[in-house]
Amino acid sequence: MDCPEVISSIKKSLPDFSALAVSQHYPDEIFIKVSPEAFKDTSMVLHKILPSPVMMLFAVDERKLTGVFTLNAVFVNLKQRQWIILNMDIPQENPYFDSLAKSIHSAAIFEREIQEMFGIQPKGNPDLRRMNLHDEVWPQGNFPLRNDFKGMVNGNLSEYKFNRVEGGGIFEVPVGPVHAGIIGPGHFRFSVAGEPIVNLELRLGFAHRGVEKLFEGKTCFDALRLSECICGDSAFAYSVAFATAAEKISGISIPQKAAYLRGIYLELERMYNHVSDIGGIALDVGFSFPAAYASVIKETILQLNEKLTASRYLKNVNVIGGVSGDIDDAKKLILFDALKKIKKDFNALVKMLNSSVSFMDRVDTTGVLIKKTAQDLGVVGLVARASGIPTDLRKYFPGVYSQAKFKMMTQEAGDVLSRLELRFSEFVESCRLIEEFTIKLSGSRDMQVNSVLKQESALGYVEGARGPVLCWLKTDAHGVIARCKLVDPSSHNWQGLSYAVLGNIIPDFPVCNKSFNLSYSGNDL
C-alpha cells in the first residue's frame, strides 16, 4: 500500500478527507499532515482499516520555528510493512485537541502524558490524573517537555483520586509502591468481593527520570549510550531502536555482517529475559528448584555475552552505523559450545515444569486475557501473541530475519500457561536464529559513518523481548536532538494485566504479573 493507496483507503470511509501534505522520506514511513478538524476522524479510520492500535501519540514543541505545537499519532500497517505518522498543528494559545481515548483505548495513556508534560489538553478524555509528576502542583505554563521549561519547582501536595468500587462486601487491598525483592516501584490497588478480584487499578511513574528531556541538546552519537540506560534488561534493543532512527536520518546503511551481529545480540537478550521470566513464574508459585535452574541458564547466557562482547548486558556494543566488535572464528566456537549446553539445560527445565501437575494447575487458565480484550486495549508483543494476535516486528519488518526463515510463534488461550509456553518456543527459535546468523557471518563489518546529521525526523524500531521498542527522533540543522520520543511495550500492556487478573484471587497476582513481566523503568520514562 503506497501513499496514494493509503489516502484512497481513508477516503472510502471519509469521502471529504483532504490531506494538507503527504510525504514518504523513507520506504517504511508515510507522513500525513491534516487539519485539527480532521485529525480525530482520520485516526479512527486508520485504527480500523490497518488495523492498528495507536503505537505512539506525542507532541513536539515547534513554537520557536513555526509558532505552534505539533501532534503525531503513529499507526503500523503490518501487511505493507509501513508506519503511518498522522500529524497536525496545535496553536500555542489555549492548546488542546479532541481526545481519541474514548474510541481508541491505546491512545489514553499517551494523552495523559501530553497533558502533563506539554499542557496540551485532550478534550473529552475521562481520565486526566497525573502519571509521573506525583502529588506536585506545577505553575501554569511550566511543563517539563516544553522548550521553555524552567526546571523543577516545589508544589503543594494534592491527593490522587483512585477509582473506587462501591457495594456490600467490597474491600480494597493496597500493595506497593515499595515491594519485596529488587523489582521497581508500582502501586497496585485491588478491589475484591470475597476472594475474587473485581478491579485492579495501577499507579506507576514512581521511577520517572525525565529520560526524553535528557536526550535534548545532544548529538545522536553522544546520546547513544544514554539509550542503553533506559531499561537495563533491554539495553541492546533500545540502542538498536535509537541507532536505526539516527541511521535513517543520516542516510547510513549498515553492512550486512553488522545486521547479522545485531540479530545475534538481540536474540541473546531475548533468551536471557525469557528464561528469567520462566524462572520467575516458577518461583511465584513456590516451585523453587526450576527457578534456581533457570537462574543458572540465565547466568550462562550472561557469561556468553561477556565472552563475545565484554559486556554481560550488551552495553557499549552497538554504534551508529553497525556494531563495535566482531565474532571471529574463535568466538564462533565459544558461541556454538555455549548454545549446545544452554539448549540441553533448557530442555531439562521445560521437562521439569511440564511434568509437575501442581505447577500446571497453578498456571493453566490463570490470568486469562482474551483476544478481543487484548485487541481493544492495544496490547502488543509477547502478551498479544499469547492471546492469539499475530504481531511480531521480526516477521513484518524482517531484515536479516527473512533470510533465516523466522517463525512467529502464537498461542490462543491468553493465560499464564500460554505466555509460558510462548517463551518456551521463542527461546528455542532464538537459539536456531543465532546459529543461522552465525553461520552467515562473513565479509566486512566496516561502517559508513556520516557524523553530520541534518534537520530531519525518523522512526527507529525493533522487536525486543517484551515487544516493539520504538524511538522517534527529530534533529535540528546542527544535528542536535530537538525531540526524542520513546515507547516501551510495557506502556501498552500494563492495562492488559489489570484485565487478566479479574476473577482470579490475590495470591495468583504475582504469577500473572510475572507472566506479563512488564518494565517499570521502560514505562516510567
Residues 373-386 pLDDT 10s: 999 999 999 999 99
Give residue-wise pLDDT tens across range 423-467: 999 999 999 999 999 999 987 666 666 555 678 999 999 999 999
Asked if residues 41 and 26 have their Cβ atoms less than 8 Å apart, the reply is no
CA angle 119, 123, 128 (to 5 degrees): 60
Q: What is the pLDDT of residue 168?
A: 85
What is the chain's percent helix, strand, coil content, to nearest 5?
45, 20, 40
- Looking at the predicted structure, is the pLDDT value of residue 2 above 60? no
Which is higher by pLDDT, 153 or 148?
A: 148
User: How confident is residue 139, by pLDDT bands cut at 50, 70 and 90?
Assistant: low
Residue 76 — pLDDT band, cuts 50, 70, 90? very high
**DSSP state at residue 2:** -
Give the pLDDT confidence of 118-131 residue by residue, as tens digits: 999 999 999 988 88
The grid cell for 149 is 521549561
Domain ranges of the chain: 3-123, 234-453+493-516
DSSP state of 381: H
Q: Are 290 and 298 in contact (CB under 8 A)?
A: no
pLDDT of 56 over the 70 cut: yes
> Residues 389-410: what's their mean pLDDT?
96
Query: Which CATH number applies to 3-123: 3.40.630.190, 3.40.1010.10, 3.30.420.240, 3.30.460.80?
Result: 3.30.460.80
pLDDT of residue 181: 76
Q: What percent of the chain has pLDDT over 90?
A: 84
Q: How confident is the model at residue 160 (pLDDT cuts 50, 70, 90)?
A: confident
pLDDT over 80 at 408, yes or no: yes
Q: Is 234-453+493-516 assigned to CATH 3.90.1570.10? A: no
> Distance from first CA to last CA of the chain, Å, rounded?
34
Give 302-346 pLDDT, tens digit per residue: 999 999 999 999 999 999 999 998 999 999 999 999 999 999 999
Amino acid at 11: K
59/200 Cα distance (integer angstroms):
30
pLDDT at 167: 87
Tell me what pLDDT residue 354 has: 97
**Radius of gyration (Cα) for the chain, nearest Å?**
23
**Mean pLDDT computed over every residue of the chain:** 93
